[in-house]
Every structure is written in C-alpha cells, then in structure tokens.
Amino acid sequence: MNRLFVLYLLSVLAFGLSSSGAHAIDHSNLDEGRPLRVEDPYPIAYRELALEAGVGFSINRRSNDSFLSSLDLLYGAYPNLQVGIGTSLSTEPDNEQAKFGDIELEALYNFNQETLRIPALGVKLEFAVPSGVDSPGTSAKIKGLMTKSYGRLSTHINAGYQYLNGDRDGKRDNRLEFILGASYPVGAPQYTRLTIIGDVFTDLSVQRDDSSVVGTEFGFRYQLTQRTVWDAG
C-alpha cells in the first residue's frame, strides 16, 4: 500500500452573518477542509450565513506541486440543516494558467445532540457539477458522521461512499473513505479560543491501478473575534 505524503497549509477566515446578530461562529465545529478532512455532524445555526475562504500550498511526492485556494458559502436553511456551495482554484509553478474546480453543492443534517450514552449523528450529501477545467465529471457522495466526547476530548468518525463518473480510462466508478479524528479545546472551560485537531484517513484511489491512499493530518482552529475564525493544518 503506497502512502501519499502531502504538506498542505491552509488559512481560513469564516465570517458569520445573521439577521439577529445573536450567533457567534463556533470555532470548535469541524468542517471538511477547514483545515483537515475530518468533520463533525453539527451544522451552523439556523439562518446563519458563513463565508469560508482558504489558501494553501501542496507539495506532492508523485505529482506537481500546486497553489490552492477555495471559497465556500454555507447557510443554516432550517434547524439542524446546513446547505452550501463552493468551488476551488489551483495553479502550478510551471503553468501560468489557473484552473477552476467544479461547482460543489452540499447538505448536512444533524439527527441529534450528543448525550452521555449516545453520540451525535449526522449525514452529509455532496454533489459536484462538472464545470471546472479538466473536470472528472459528475460525482456524488454520501457520508455518515459521528462525534462522541470523553471529557473535553471529542472523537470523530466519518465514513463515506462516493459515486464517480468512471467513463475515462482506468477510473473507478465508486470509492470508499474512512476518517478517524479527535479535537481538543485548549483552556476549556474558562478561556477557549484554540482547538487542536488531528486525524488519520484512508480512501481508495481514483485510478483503479493505484493503491489506497493513507495519511495523517494535524491542525488547529483559532477564534480571532466573535465573527471570525482562523485555522491552519
């Protein structure tokens, strides 16, 4: 099994906007790619609007290095339901042309709040519209999310199934992914602005002949203001 080593730095500012102004951005909530793969089943608050913008640099052992940026808009459409839309932009040092990614739509639903015995559970649906440069085609993903806390330490399990448009040579029709992560709020409960995050992940490669991808990630989320969160990983 080949291992993929990638250095990926991501900085994110998330601005929350609501009609009442009563809600603050919760820096302890985990969103996919903010900054790691692992996420929790908690959506943003009802009628909350959040803009997430990220930049990063990826150093790959078997492919070209690239500069990455992403932009996502999230909205609390109903209680326990979050919807979103986003896209990405990438450039390579030896290629001046920027490549826009596909338009991605998502919906996250939280089934329950965590109790002493029952973990928090949620489901996330993602759909990619083939609109970017060198688009791989339409894809859809369903992901189960679970979070269970032990004291201040929260553990997270994500398991996903992705349907791929495997009409290109050597491409898979579908793939599985599994992520195990943990997060810890530093300074809780008196003063908590910093949350440390880590995860391990494995997923099938897009190419049939390639081995599964296995990796580990570390990062943090820091609350700058009531409405702004910065993270890196």
- Whole-angstrom CA distances from 151 to 26, 155, 185 are 18, 11, 11
Q: Does position 203 have pLDDT exceeding 80, yes or no?
A: yes
Q: For the chain, give the mean pLDDT.
A: 80
- Average pLDDT for residues 211-223, to the nearest whole number? 86
Q: Please write down the HEC assignment for all residues of the chain.
A: CCCCCEEECCEEEEEEECCCCCCCCCCCCCECCECCCCCCCCCCCCCCEEEEEEEEEEEECCCCCEEEEEEEEEEEEECCEEEEEEEEEEEECCEEEEEECCEEEEEEEECCCCCCCCCEEEEEEEEEECCCCCCCCCEEEEEEEEEEEECCEEEEEEEEEEEECCCCCCECCEEEEEEEEEEEEECCCCCCCEEEEEEEEEECCCECCCCCEEEEEEEEEEEEECCEEEEEC
- Average pLDDT for residues 24-28, to the nearest whole number? 63
Q: Does residue 34 or residue 148 have the better pLDDT?
A: 148
CA-closest candidate to residue 32, choices 186, 162, 134, 133: 162
- Average pLDDT for residues 86-92, to the nearest whole number? 76
Task: For residue 147, give the amino acid letter.
Answer: T
pLDDT at residue 71, rounded to an integer: 83
**Alpha carbon 26 to its chain's center:** 15
What sign has the CA pseudo-torsion 115, 160, 66, 75? negative
- Calpha distance 130→150 (Å, rounded): 41
pLDDT > 90 in the chain, percent: 36
Q: 5-19, 111-125, 166-180 — which is least confidently predicted?
A: 5-19
168-202: b or e for each residue (b if 16 or more CB lie within 10 Å)? Answer: eeeebeebebebbbebbbeeeeeeeebbebbbebe
Most confident region among 57-66, 133-142, 209-218 by mean pLDDT:
209-218
pLDDT at residue 115, rounded to an integer: 93
Q: 3-17, 126-140, 164-178, 200-214 — which is least confidently predicted?
A: 3-17
Q: Which domains does the chain have, with CATH numbers?
A: 6-232 (2.40.160)
Q: Does position 20 have pLDDT exceeding 50, yes or no?
A: no
Contact in structure between 139 and 166 (CB atoms under 8 Å):
no
